[in-house]
């Protein structure tokens, strides 16, 4: 064994059953390597007799038996029949001689001569029961499973079953082996082969929930694959959905589910059914909110339908679609541009325009002229400023302490020093009389924009703080 080499003296004088068994096993291996299978089997039987609970010796014996059976079949196929002519005592002599050749040096004659009766053992080793023998295989099986050496693992399971066919521990390890092998096959995309392993796991453990879950998920996956290839998107979605529900991390089932959703949506788009595509992709997005491909396709479908509705004047519906597209993909410049146009048409911006040269006041909503009134702007030397302004504040009745005038329906638009100029109705003197009533349509004010009292009231109610005010010649 590892760490030492058997010697003649140990072979002659060894009384420790463990050491004796190690020598027999080492000799058996060498005999097998040199083409003496019968001798190897005898040595192995001696090792097992010395140490009945030694799983390694039993495993090697099982391997030799397999090789011998295979060799016998090959000899029969070739028409040759080999009959051993050596009687059993002579075979034992050959075994001892093989060992002598291996370890070197002379062999005591007493060891090379067949002994008619076995040497009595003072304290016989208790024969282990099947469960105890199975326990000896477990570390090797665990090592094979850890290394994903499935052929070796199944070989060990077969040996364990041969020792204790109906043992609970054997059944449990068989289930674990088949289940893990199937799961590894799923990860590498070999789902059909994985199905066979899960079926085997269920056979040995029909009541095991995990084994059944993987078996059913695999059947659903294979059904989904077949449906995907046949163009049956609804069945593919249902099947892969079942897989993900049973085993959320099952191989590429999630990617296959996404593929089925996307293909169904694309088929709807190809048929001009954008609403159908949106319905499919909305279901997918609800189920898979973090899946970027679904999110992109759904955003694109909403954008396309929003543009379609905008072109047909369905502005509220177009707005909803374009806002949905931007909620999914905020950086969608095309959707944003169309939404801006839709919003402009739904809620055109208000704008005030004052033409000093014409002494005319205009109120616009988008490109639509809402109001047009004659106005009076500042006298020369007290000119109304030109430029781009906005409504800063609103007061039903403002008062100028400088001019001692009341100014109804005030809209402040800019400051000259500490004094704010604005748009308002005809000013009222302290005695209640109205100024400039007959001068509308010509320059007359101290810098403000003057409207009739009724026109000022309309504009006061129409305009909002922030409404743009453009003043020009």
- Percent above pLDDT 70 for the chain: 81
| CATH of residue 388 | 2.40.440.10
**DSSP assignments along 9-77, one per residue:** HHHHH---HHHHHHHHHHHHHHHHHTT-HHHHHHHHHHHHHH-TT-HHHHHHHHHHHHHHHHHHHHHHH
In-domain check, residue 82: yes
Q: Which of 462, 464, 449, 454 is nearest to 370 (CA)?
A: 462
Confidence of residue 412 (pLDDT cuts 50, 70, 90): very high
Residues 145, 162: Cα–Cα separation, whole Å: 19
Lowest mean pLDDT among 39-53, 69-83, 156-170: 69-83
Contacts of 470 (CB under 8 A, 6+ apart): 351, 352, 353, 354, 387, 388, 389
In-domain check, residue 246: yes
Lowest mean pLDDT among 65-69, 319-323, 327-331: 65-69
| pLDDT higher than 70, residue 407 | yes
Q: Does residue 259 sit in the same domain as residue 357? A: no
For 125-164, write each residue's pLDDT tens digit: 566 788 888 898 899 999 999 999 999 999 999 989 888 8
| pLDDT higher than 80, residue 181 | yes
Confidence of residue 2 (pLDDT cuts 50, 70, 90): very low
Q: Are 26 and 1 in contact (CB under 8 A)?
A: yes
Residues 427, 130: Cα–Cα separation, whole Å: 114
Q: Which pLDDT does position 64 carry in this prediction? A: 77
| pLDDT higher than 70, residue 124 | no
Residues 472, 2: Cα–Cα separation, whole Å: 104
Q: Does residue 322 sit in the same domain as residue 271? A: no
Lowest mean pLDDT among 17-21, 74-78, 430-434: 74-78
| pLDDT higher than 50, residue 13 | no
Dihedral over Cα of 261, 267, 270, 272: its sign: negative
Residues 311, 305: Cα–Cα separation, whole Å: 10
For 282-317, write each residue's pLDDT tens digit: 999 999 999 999 999 999 999 999 999 999 999 999
Helices (H), 358-401: none
Q: Which of 347, 372, 399 is the last residue of a domain?
A: 347
DSSP β-ladder status, 419-424 and 449-450: parallel
User: Quick one: residue 149, left, alpha or beta (phi over 0 = left, psi -120 to 50 = alpha)?
Assistant: beta
Q: Does residue 77 sit in the same domain as residue 91? A: yes
Q: Which of 324, 347, 370 is the last residue of a domain?
A: 347
Q: Does residue 389 sit in the same domain as residue 442? A: yes
Neighbours of 283 (CB within 10 A): 17
Confidence of residue 344 (pLDDT cuts 50, 70, 90): very high
**DSSP assignments along 151-220, one per residue:** HHHHHHHHHHHHH-TT-HHHHHHHHHHHHHHHHHHHHTT-HHHHHHHHHHHHHH-TT-HHHHHHHHHHHH
| pLDDT higher than 90, residue 4 | no
Q: Which pLDDT does position 418 carry in this prediction? A: 92
Q: Which of 347, 373, 397 is the last residue of a domain?
A: 347
Q: Which pLDDT does position 11 carry in this prediction? A: 35
Q: Name which residue leads in pLDDT, 279 or 20.
A: 279
Lowest mean pLDDT among 26-30, 40-44, 318-322: 26-30
Residues 279, 431: Cα–Cα separation, whole Å: 71
Q: Which domain does 165 fall in, by range?
A: 135-286
Q: Which pLDDT does position 131 carry in this prediction? A: 87
In-domain check, residue 63: yes
Q: Which pLDDT does position 309 carry in this prediction? A: 97
Q: Which pLDDT does position 367 carry in this prediction? A: 92
Tokens 């806002």 belong to which residue?
323
Give 415's DSSP letter.
Answer: E
| CATH of residue 193 | 1.25.40
**3 state DSSP class of 362:** strand
Lowest mean pLDDT among 66-75, 240-249, 360-369, 399-408: 66-75
**DSSP assignments along 284-322, one per residue:** HHHH-TT-HHHHHHHHHHHHHHHHHHHHTT-HHHHHHHH
Residue 180 tokens read as: 């893990």
Mean pLDDT (whole number) for 251-266: 95
Q: Which pLDDT does position 83 carry in this prediction? A: 37
Q: Which pLDDT does position 432 carry in this prediction? A: 95
Q: Which pLDDT does position 20 carry in this prediction? A: 66
Q: Does residue 36 sit in the same domain as residue 140? A: no
Q: Report the chain's mean pLDDT, rounded to a whole number.
A: 85
Q: Which pLDDT does position 283 carry in this prediction? A: 93
Q: Which pLDDT does position 29 carry in this prediction? A: 72
Confidence of residue 102 (pLDDT cuts 50, 70, 90): very low
| pLDDT higher than 70, residue 257 | yes
In-domain check, residue 124: no
Q: Does residue 327 sit in the same domain as residue 399? A: no
Residues 176, 160: Cα–Cα separation, whole Å: 13
For 345-390, write each residue's pLDDT tens digit: 999 999 999 999 999 999 999 999 999 999 999 999 999 999 999 9
Q: Does residue 86 sit in the same domain as residue 191? A: no
Q: How many domains does the chain have?
A: 4
- Percent above pLDDT 90 for the chain: 68
Describe the strand order of the beta sheet including 393-400 as a list of residue ranges: 393-400, 405-416, 419-424, 449-450
């Amino acid at each position: 064994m590892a760490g030492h080499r058997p010697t003649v003296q140990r072979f002659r004088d060894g009384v420790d059953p463990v050491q004796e068994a190690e020598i027999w096993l080492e000799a058996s291996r060498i005999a097998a390597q040199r083409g003496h299978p019968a001798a190897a089997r005898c040595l192995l039987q001696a090792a097992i007799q010395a140490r009945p609970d030694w799983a390694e010796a039993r495993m090697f014996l099982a391997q030799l038996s397999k090789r011998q059976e295979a060799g016998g079949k090959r000899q029969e196929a070739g028409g040759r029949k080999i009959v051993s002519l050596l009687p059993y005592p002579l075979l034992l002599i050959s075994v001892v001689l093989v060992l002598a050749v291996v370890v070197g040096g002379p062999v005591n004659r007493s060891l090379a001569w067949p002994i008619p009766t076995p040497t009595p053992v003072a304290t016989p080793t208790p024969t282990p029961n099947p469960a105890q023998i199975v326990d000896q295989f477990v570390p090797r099986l665990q090592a094979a499973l850890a290394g994903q050496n499935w052929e070796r693992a199944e070989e060990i399971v077969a040996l364990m079953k041969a020792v204790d066919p109906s043992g609970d521990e054997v059944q449990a390890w068989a289930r674990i082996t088949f289940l893990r092998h199937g799961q590894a096959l799923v990860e590498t995309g070999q789902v059909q082969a994985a199905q066979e392993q899960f079926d085997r796991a269920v056979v040995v453990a029909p009541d095991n929930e995990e084994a059944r879950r993987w078996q059913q998920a695999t059947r659903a996956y294979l059904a989904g694959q077949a449906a995907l290839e046949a163009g049956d998107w609804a069945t593919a979605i249902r099947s892969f959905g079942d897989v993900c529900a049973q085993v959320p991390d099952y191989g590429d089932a999630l990617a296959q589910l996404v593929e089925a959703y996307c293909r169904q949506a694309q088929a709807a788009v190809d048929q001009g059914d954008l609403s159908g595509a949106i319905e499919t992709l909305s279901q997918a997005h609800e189920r898979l909110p973090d899946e970027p491909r679904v999110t992109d396709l759904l955003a694109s479908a909403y954008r396309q339908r929003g543009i379609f509705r905008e072109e047909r004047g369905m502005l509220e519906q177009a707005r909803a679609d374009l806002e949905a597209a931007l909620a999914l993909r905020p950086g969608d410049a095309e959707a944003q541009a169309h939404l801006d146009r839709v919003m402009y048409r739904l809620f055109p911006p208000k704008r005030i325009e004052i033409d000093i040269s014409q002494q005319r006041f205009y109120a616009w909503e988008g490109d639509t002229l809402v109001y047009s009134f004659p106005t009076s702007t500042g006298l020369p030397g007290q000119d109304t400023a030109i430029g781009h302004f906005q409504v800063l504040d609103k007061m039903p009745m403002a008062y100028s302490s400088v001019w001692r005038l009341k100014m109804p329906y005030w809209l402040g638009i800019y400051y000259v020093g500490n004094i704010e100029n604005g748009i308002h109705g005809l000013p009222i003197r302290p005695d209640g009389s109205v100024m400039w009533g007959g001068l509308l349509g010509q320059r007359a004010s101290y810098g403000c924009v003057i409207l009739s009292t009724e026109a000022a009231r309309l504009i006061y109610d129409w305009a909002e703080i922030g409404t743009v005010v453009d003043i020009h010649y």
